[in-house]
Structure 1
């Protein structure tokens, strides 16, 4: 149960991070620069 909750939290964090990276890429930096940092 706890492990599933942690997995879900990690999935949520990655989803949010991906959205932030996409937004930043469209605003200021090329996407490949952000992905290279990742």
Structure 2
């Protein structure tokens, strides 16, 4: 049970970091500049 819990937490943590990093790259790449033009 405990090992499965650690595995689940690890997966969620990894996905969260990946999403935050991906979102940061996307916002630096274009969407922010487009919003400033509006």
Q: TM-score, normalised by structure 2?
A: 0.72
RMSD of aligned alpha carbons: 1.5
Gaps of 5+ in 2: 33-38
Q: Structure 1: where are the runs of 5+ without partners?
A: 31-38
Higher relative contact order (CA 8 A, sep 6+): 1
Larger Rg: 2
Q: Could you list the structure 1 runs, at least 4 aligned residues long, displaced by more than 2 angstroms after superposition.
A: none
> Structure 1-normalised TM-score?
0.72
